[in-house]
Amino acid sequence: MTRQANRLWLWLALLAWATAVRGGLPTGEARLVLDIAGEGDSALSLPSDVTVAHGRVYVVDSGNRRIAVFDRSGKFLFAMGKGLLKAPVGIGKDGKGRIYAADRGTGRVEVFTRGGKHLRTIELQHGDGAPARPIDVAVEPDGRRLYITTNDRHSLLTLDTQGAFTGEWGENGPEEGEFRYPGTLMLLPGNRLAIVDILNTRIQLFERNGRFLTVLGRWGVTPGHLFRPKGIALDRKGRLLVSDSYMGVIQVFRDDGQFLHVLGSKGEVLRLGTPVGMTVDDAGRLYVARMRENRVSVFELGY
């Protein structure tokens, strides 16, 4: 898309959203609690994803090639993976608080303790033995199965507890079960898995054995549609929150695909600069990585 066409799309999108707001677009209350940005040597650069484990906030600090760790008040604690990570993108955790970093630059997943000690490296391969480039990783609570999205073949890999290849599904395409640059993924209740299918502008839901279930969202610039979905999170009511990095909004859907509302406050839509990876902690707070703004914003959800 040319720069001129991109600007036209953005103008049309803003007009569509403004019209929707005037028409009484439903908003779900989201109150900003704090921004986590760090300062000096701890300052975040192009954060792409975030997770919370045992009271700590783990941020994929992509521009600094590390995982930056903060407490829930935003105080910097330590960093891990410096010198080991090359181009980290996604992050996951298991039930014991071990942290898994998907590194597109090295084709590996690096595993750390919650205190930052490096435990092991998982070299990734496709079924034919070719190297794989990971984008995100999700881990069963017991750590016995890993799910990894890859962009080089537009597919999802599954690995066992030892990091050995156990399966792969998906290929490049627009049909159900196919992907065009799969990104963030997360485990859902009911033995399900959600995958952000970026250029197909949708979220696909599967059983964890790979059986396709349904799609959330479709291409568009109006509420209930997606233009560049990037992050996904699950709130305490079982609703799916989806960030759109182009539109700068976070929309909320039921897991059957029905659009519910957009996050905002007092009827005003919440606008963010490049929201990407997200998570909801055990207290119900939403953490949003805002890549171009070099911060993670924390919100209290009131809907």
Q: What is the CATH number of the domain that holds 282?
A: 2.120.10.30
Q: Does residue 6 fall inside a structural domain? A: no
Q: Does residue 10 fall inside a structural domain? A: no
Helix boundaries (H) for the chain: 3-22
Side chain identity, residue 295: R
Write b or e for each residue in 169-203: b if 16 or more Cβ atoms lie within 10 A of its Cβ, otherwise e. Answer: bbeeeeeeebbeebbbbbbbeeebbbbbbbbbbbb
Give the mean pLDDT of 33-48: 97
* Pairing state between β 118-123 and 108-112: antiparallel
Map residue 10 onto helix, strand or coil: helix
Q: Does residue 83 fall inside a structural domain? A: yes
- pLDDT tens, 3-23? 555 555 555 565 555 555 555
Distance (Å, whole) CA 139 – CA 102: 12
Q: Does residue 189 fall inside a structural domain? A: yes
Q: Would you state the pLDDT for residue 161?
A: 83
Q: Does residue 14 fall inside a structural domain? A: no
Write out the residue range of the structural domain in which residue 186 sits: 26-301
What is the average pLDDT value for the chain, to the nearest integer?
Answer: 92
Q: Would you state the pLDDT for residue 104?
A: 97
Give the mean pLDDT of 279-290: 97
Confidence band (pLDDT; 50, 70, 90) for 55? very high
- pLDDT tens, 219-228? 987 888 999 9
Q: Does residue 17 fall inside a structural domain? A: no
pTM of the complete model: 0.93
How many C-beta atoms surround the C-beta of residue 240 within 10 A? 22
Side chain identity, residue 27: T
What Å distances lie between residue 223 and 56, 157, 214, 260, CA to CA?
Answer: 33, 32, 19, 9
Q: Would you state the pLDDT for residue 171?
A: 95
Give the mean pLDDT of 203-207: 97
- pLDDT tens, 61-112? 999 999 999 999 999 999 999 999 999 999 999 999 999 999 999 999 999 9
* Domains held by the chain: number: 1
Give the mean pLDDT of 263-286: 93
Greater confidence, 21 or 47?
Answer: 47
- Closest listed residue to residue 290, CA positions, set 81, 72, 61, 74: 61
Q: Does residue 54 fall inside a structural domain? A: yes
Give the mean pLDDT of 16-45: 83
Q: Would you state the pLDDT for residue 6?
A: 57
Distance (Å, whole) CA 7 – CA 218: 21
Distance (Å, whole) CA 208 – CA 215: 15
Q: Does residue 154 fall inside a structural domain? A: yes
Q: Say if residue 238's pLDDT is above 90.
A: yes
- pLDDT tens, 175-201? 999 999 999 999 999 999 999 999 999
